[in-house]
Structure 1
């Protein structure tokens, strides 16, 4: 498959497509994605991790930012607590398939306290309005009703991160778009290149809420036990004949079909018999028609997820000290 097609599959938006093509034509490119170490790694994170793996397959270098200072600014705990979670998160990323020999794992605190970094943040602050900074942070801030000064610093730091990590491509969920646009507009004013930005869809939580989140507990963790996965999927929001905003449909589309190439549904003949679905269009059509019952879809999805996440369970079985027990 062409490197461009590999990188673009499953991407909701690329800013811009032409710039991405030019970057790939140069033969050398790098990408980064930042993660707040605030809890378990779930499917929402796994979507961006899979894109980083795609970028590695396409020949790019990858940096994972373990954003401990960002998490601290976003009230996710003490730095010591956050850094313990970050180490556990790092192991989750490796278990999901990121090659530790080809991936740079960088703690934010390892470079974000250096004078040159701080000066760039301050320089950007002089040319960014408070309103713009708050808007950029609004979708990912922990405190939005009574925001503090940290909320305005956070998106400026994200922008400067891209430059100081020497990343050509910034990867994130579509909720990162406003932050990335600040980076594209402001970094050239500081003498840096504007990044290409790849935005992935936001997955709905198991409860049907607009975003999967550790704080809401509406997620499937990548190191969940099979029994837990099956229980969570069985309780998931999945209205009959409804494909829009249906988390069960989304997980099949974005994880099962790309990973396995098909979704196998084993059901008795009296309920239609076994079927194999090979693409998202087919899945949506069958489900919307009512020919596939939610219970059958959930059972098939749970079995597929258990299979896909087997390497993660194997990794932690071989590295028990790497796992950190965190509440759901």
Structure 2
């Protein structure tokens, strides 16, 4: 594969690319750049974490990259329930790895790296860097990057949330990892920009290219007013067919509107990359059946009204169920994989703890 072709493959992964010119130059000089994918183990794995990550990793492998998935187990210790139990976190991580295997990720050509191991191996380089980042910036700025502010409230934000950005920046910039390309999701963008600012503040040249991939939107209308614990907001890797159908029926899909339409975003990011096409069987009276190979074609028909929202939802649900059937069959036929599903029980404990914290905050502020 030529450098320009490899660039096109990698660039298709990222909604945004930081240091794009460096990526072009890198691919001309190096046939097997080292790509790290940042991943925090998740007890409730959704299809963005499972299917989209599989698509991205397989693209990187196809482009000739040496791919490593960095399981950020150490950072999950800040979670209100999981805490410092690394064995529990590793169990969740192994469940995630089994999901990727079920989805067809090229794991035989990918190295899974645990961040806790890397921190132990490179402590002398990592911790001074993390401390230097912490010295450079104020508490107020660090609080901007905290992701678990909602369950705590501003008055009860744990210090663990404050040190998280410093530690993540240090992980991104730790030279011992020898990273050429990083892949993060867009929700990590602000911390990545913090790393960029830090390099500029200390006049350090950071040559790693950062790819930021898109995130799937909330399926529900007016997601800012929806409970983040509502399972209808997204599709999970182990959702049954009836679960998927119910979620898609309830999903926000305004007729003739392609902008901010979560169903179309799912089709763009999951269905089309997976199948290479999107097949719609239209109800009688709605026109002929159609096969779309690009979002441009699909958007034109949808915006014009030639494609009805109900027909689109039916085709969308059918496609997602076909993808997840492969995953479900793997777990049904693999006893070791079935045992890993027990990691999901931690999610109920986590949710219960978050609710308890929210109630405590409410009582405190009401008083």
| Same fold, TM-score > 0.5, yes or no | yes
The structure with the largest alpha-carbon Rg is 2
Report the alpha carbon displacement of residue 10 of structure 1 after superposing the two structures with TM. Answer: 4.5
Question: Do structure 1's residue 38 and structure 2's residue 29 form an aligned pair?
Answer: no
Q: TM-score, normalised by structure 1?
A: 0.88
Which residue is equivalent to 2:320?
Answer: 305
**Residue 93 of structure 2 is aligned with which of 86, 96, 100?**
86
Q: Is the 8 A contact 1:241 1:287 kept in 2?
A: yes
Contact 1:205 1:211 (8 Å CA) reproduced: no
Equivalent residue number for residue 296 of structure 1: 311
Residues 213 and 110 (structure 1 numbering): CA distance in 2 closer, same or farther, change over 3 Å?
farther
Worse-superposed segment, 132-141 or 120-129: 132-141
Q: Deviation at 1:309?
A: 3.0
Aligned to 1:180: 192
Q: How does 1:14-25 map to 2 (within 5 A)?
A: 14-25=17-28
Task: Select the structure that is richer in helix.
Answer: 2
Counterparts in 2 of 1:206 and 1:50: CA distance versus 1, 3 Å: same
| Cα 1:245/1:319, change in 2 over 3 Å | same
SS across alignment from 1:87:
helix
Q: Secondary structure at the match of 1:101?
A: helix
Match of 2:59 in 1: 54
Match of 1:66 in 2: 71
Extract structure 1 runs of 4+ deviating beyond 4 A: 138-144, 187-192, 210-216
Counterpart selection for 1:118 from 120, 127, 137: 127
Aligned partner of residue 145 in structure 2, secondary structure? helix
* Deviation at residue 137 of structure 1 after TM alignment: 3.5
Q: What do the CA deviations read for 1:67-93 (whole angstroms, capped 9, x no partner)?
A: 222122143523243332111011112
The counterpart of 1:204, out of the listed 197, 217, 228, is: 217
CA distance 1:49–1:161, shift in 2 (3 Å): farther
CA-based RMSD of the aligned residues comes to: 2.8
Which residue of the partner structure matches residue 96 of structure 1?
103
Q: In the alignment, which residue of structure 2 is the partner of 1:13?
A: 16
Maintained 8 Å contact 2:277/2:293: yes
Structure 1 214/109 Cα, relative in aligned 2: closer, same or farther at 3 Å?
A: farther
The offset of 1:280, in angstroms, is 0.5
Q: Distance in 2 between matches of 1:167 and 1:294?
A: 44
Report how many residues are paired.
328
Look up the SS of the partner of 1:112 in the other structure.
helix
Residues of 1 paired with 2:52 and 2:281: CA distance? 27
Q: Distance in 1 between matches of 2:192 and 2:105?
A: 24
